[in-house]
C-alpha cells in the first residue's frame, strides 16, 4: 500500500486521518487503492477530479505506464485532453445506450 500511495502522490508517512483529507487527497487515496493490487483492469470514475496540475500530470504518467504494460483502463472523463491522451477507444452514453465514438473529436 505504501508504494501505491507514493505512486498516486501521497506521502505514506503522514499521520493524518482520512476524514481530514482534502477532496484531492481522497481522490489520490482512491487511485492508490485501485492500483495497489496490480490488477489487469482499472475502473476509474473521473480520476482527475479535484487534482492540482502537478497531480494530474503524475496520475496521467502513471496511467500511461499501465497502458504500456498492456493493462486495460476504463475511465470516465469530461475532459477532452484526458480522452485524447489516454484513450484508444471512446464511447459515450446517449439515451441510456453505449455508443462508440469513431472520431474522438466528436465527443
Q: How does pLDDT run across 34-82, given as a tens digit for each residue? A: 999 889 999 999 999 999 999 999 999 999 999 999 999 999 999 999 9
- Are residues 51 and 27 in contact, defined by beta-carbon separation less than 8 angstroms? yes
At 101, is the secondary structure helix, strand, or coil? strand
Is residue 42 within 8 Å of residue 73, measured between CB atoms?
Answer: yes
Domain that holds residue 7: 2-106
Mean pLDDT calculated for residue range 81-100 = 94
- Cα–Cα distance, 4 to 36 (Å, whole number): 5
103 pLDDT tier (thresholds 50, 70, 90): confident
> Looking at the 3D structure of the chain, how many domains does it have?
1
**17-31 pLDDT tens trace:** 999 999 999 999 999
**CATH code for the domain of 92:** 3.40.50.300
Higher pLDDT, 106 or 33: 33
- Please report where in the chains the cell 507514493 appears, as a residue: 6
Amino acid at each position: 500500500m505504501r508504494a501505491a500511495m507514493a505512486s498516486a502522490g501521497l506521502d505514506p508517512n503522514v499521520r493524518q486521518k482520512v476524514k481530514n483529507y482534502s477532496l484531492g487527497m481522497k481522490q489520490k487515496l482512491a487511485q492508490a487503492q485501485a492500483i495497489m493490487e496490480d490488477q489487469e483492469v482499472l475502473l476509474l470514475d473521473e480520476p482527475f477530479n479535484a487534482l492540482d496540475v502537478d497531480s494530474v500530470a503524475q496520475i496521467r504518467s502513471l496511467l500511461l505506464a499501465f497502458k504500456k504494460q498492456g493493462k486495460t483502463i476504463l475511465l470516465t472523463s469530461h475532459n477532452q485532453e484526458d480522452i485524447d491522451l489516454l484513450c484508444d477507444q471512446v464511447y459515450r452514453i446517449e439515451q441510456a445506450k453505449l455508443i462508440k465514438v469513431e472520431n474522438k473529436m466528436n465527443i
